[in-house]
A and B are shown apart, each in its own frame.
Chain A
Amino acid sequence: MTARNRELLGLLPASLLVTAGFAGVFIQRSNALSNVSLTYGALFLGLCIAAHVFIRITLPRADPYMFPLIAVLASFGLVMIYRIDPTLARQQAQWFVLGLILFAGTILLFRDYRRLERYRYTIVLVSIGLLVLPRLPGIGYAANGAYLGVRIPGVFVFQPAEVSKIGLVIFLASYLRDTRQVLVQGGRRILGVTLPPLKQFGPVVVIWGLAMGILVVLSDTGSSIMFYGGLLAMLYVATNRLSFVVIGLLAAAIGFWYLGTHIPHIHARVETWLHPLNPHLYHAPLGSYQVANAMFAQAAGGLFGQGFGRAALTLPGGGTLLPAPQTDMIYAVVTDELGLFGAAAVLITYLLFVARGFKTALLARDSFSTLLAVGLSAMFALQVFVIVGGVTRVIPLTGVTLPFISYGGSSIVANLVLVALLLLVSDRARRPE
């Protein structure tokens, strides 16, 4: 079977999932089977096939599993969001369509994605500028104590970190391509450990400062971990020096420890993370209510979950039991309704997608492509880690989105552009000489 036919076949399960999921939600809601779920499944299949035909024409050699994996995640997201709020699901579907248009646009515009290297300084400056926007008075807004979004009232809400991560990866891939040899060869060895030369290491230090700055100014632990982790992954691939990663991790650990113990608002977040069941913190504003209830929701799921539409999200009296179920907490809702097996399936889907990304990096012939694929995959993986880790209380919770599943326009659009870039790299890598 050719690669593209495998991709087409892989889209079938995604549309089956939409159909089964919507049917399950309908039954729970109105106690009736209706063929509307079939319509949704067919519509979703139609959209995916349109995208598939587009890939077939423009990128015939691209990885055949990436797009079906994304389609499965998106179908998961649509079902869960529909279950939480049908209006949001319609908006999410519209965002998905817009995302697919931009996905196609990216592929057409950057057929030779190495052209991006020419604009690397513009790209990185715009990315950093976007990151600062949420802190500006008037348009920025805070959610849960973190400055994550930009809102122009009545027009749109937008999370700049989603777009910035792609920009930073492009810049780092291009920069490290040029300097990696110098980083390795210009280094001095002290006590058997290669230390990088300071001049070329400068921009890397800037990114470290950026990660810490995001943490202090925006209180955004998630993006901070995501950007810094992505940087270390790319640095390791570019130089193959474990010592750089160890030094980087130590620097981050010291930074996080200092900020976590000395800056009050970050310290408060650490406290709610460590003691979510403390009654004092539980009832405090911006306290541990959300994290604690997410833990109960996940425990209620058991092995196979309670079934579609059965998780308790609101209190009988009308209050919310699980705040922000469609964005931050969607992973908890998935675990509640589909159990450990459902949640594990979601994580495996992400894992397989990231594995395809790294595989693409291995196949790529030039360093820029390798670094780009590694960076994009690592950022994607870290984003999943940050939010799932937050919900399962491995790390303090920050409101980044669960890619393709959470409700959120900028997230789904930016991540589709990320997939488009990975497919572009993959198509070039698999092209015979």
Chain B
Amino acid sequence: MLAPVSVALKFGFLIVLYLFLVWVAWSALRDLRRGRGGVVRADAAARYDATGMYDAASSPVDSDGDEFEPRLLVARAPGHETGSAYEIPSQGATLGRGDVEIRLDDPFASAHHARISREGHVVVIEDLGSTNGTYLNEEPLSGPQPLHPGDRIRIGDCEFSYEQ
């Protein structure tokens, strides 16, 4: 006698379930559509570069090698593999303890400690008003300084060498 109720419950269950799934899928799709339009897309592209993920993806193993690729080699830094390299993307990179491209796990580093920026083939390092200073070849930075291959950059106990 309750069989119709049972059947109704089963189909009700399935209908609620599918409506819910359509709702979630629809909002995911709306996200995608919005992503195709200009603003968000450009934003996403910029973020890609900032993570360095994009750079690793299109990194120049397969290029002929004479391209300009400035990078920081890790000499010693806690949390980083010695000898690994960070590429400096064309819009520059920030070093520091905060949410930045090259994160330093060092008590002497400020959240936004120093910035490396590129203009064409000139790469410039600048201290961002950090508490403990940035050292270029063991001399404290006072203003923006151009970097040359072999330069050593030290922040607290982290040391990098610059290559290009």
List chain A positions with a Cβ less than 8 A from chain B.
6, 10, 13-14, 16-17, 20-21, 23-24, 27-28, 31-33, 65, 68-69, 72, 114, 117-118, 178-182, 184-185, 187, 189, 194, 200, 237-240, 304-305, 307-308, 338, 341-342, 345, 348-349, 352, 355-356, 359, 362-367, 370, 428
Contacts and interface: CB of A to CB of B under 8 A. Distances in A.
Interface in B40-93: 44, 47, 50-53, 56-62, 79-81, 83-87
A147 B53 CA distance: 39
A345 B24 contact: no
Contact of B51 (A14, A117, A181, A365): A365
A359 B12 CA distance: 31
22 contacts: A16-B16, A17-B13, A17-B16, A20-B9, A27-B6, A31-B2, A69-B24, A181-B59, A181-B84, A185-B59, A194-B61, A239-B57, A304-B10, A305-B10, A308-B9, A338-B13, A338-B14, A342-B13, A345-B17, A352-B28, A367-B51, A428-B99
Contacts of A359: 28, 31
Nearest to A22: B9
Contacts of B57: 239-240
B51 A364 contact: yes
B97 to A, nearest CB: 11
Given A31-B2, A33-B5, A367 B28 contact: no
Contacts of A356: 28
B159 interface: no
Nearest to A182: B84
Contact of B99 (A178, A308, A365): A365
A72 B17 contact: yes
A276 to B, nearest CB: 29
Given A240-B57, A307-B6, A178 B80 contact: yes
Instruction: Give me the 7 closest cross-chain CB pairs, A-B, nearest first.
Output: A240-B57, A13-B20, A24-B9, A178-B81, A20-B13, A345-B17, A27-B6
B2 A32 contact: yes
Contact of A118 (B11, B24, B58, B79): B79
A4 B142 CA distance: 47
Contacts of A20: 9, 12-13, 16
Given A27-B5, A68-B24, A182-B84, A13 B17 contact: yes
A355 B28 contact: yes
Given A17-B13, A23-B9, A24-B9, A366 B28 contact: no
Interface string B11-30: 11110111111011101100
A16 B15 CA distance: 11
A17 B14 CA distance: 9
B85 A189 contact: no
Given A13-B19, A24-B10, A200-B81, 7 more contacts: A24-B6, A27-B6, A189-B61, A239-B57, A308-B10, A345-B21, A367-B52
Contacts of A23: 9
Main SS class of interface, A:
helix
Contacts of B61: 184-185, 187, 189, 194
Main SS class of interface, B:
helix
A130 B66 CA distance: 49
Contacts, number: 134
Interface of B: 1-2, 5-7, 9-14, 16-21, 23-25, 27-28, 31, 44, 47, 50-53, 56-62, 79-81, 83-87, 99, 103, 105
A118 B106 CA distance: 12
A187 B59 CA distance: 12
A345 B13 CA distance: 11
B9 A10 contact: no
Contacts of B21: 345, 348-349, 352
A304 B18 contact: no
A130 to B, nearest CB: 25
Nearest to A24: B9
Contacts of B17: 13, 17, 72, 342, 345
A421 to B, nearest CB: 18
A350 B47 CA distance: 28
A10 B83 CA distance: 48
Nearest to B27: A65
A117 B13 contact: no
B56 A184 contact: yes
Nearest to A18: B13
B14 A33 contact: no
A149 B18 CA distance: 35
A307 B17 CA distance: 15
A122 B83 CA distance: 23
Contacts of B103: 114, 366
Contacts of A182: 81, 83-85
B24 A352 contact: yes
B51 A366 contact: yes
A194 B61 CA distance: 9
A28 B56 contact: no
A342 B10 CA distance: 10
A365 B54 CA distance: 11
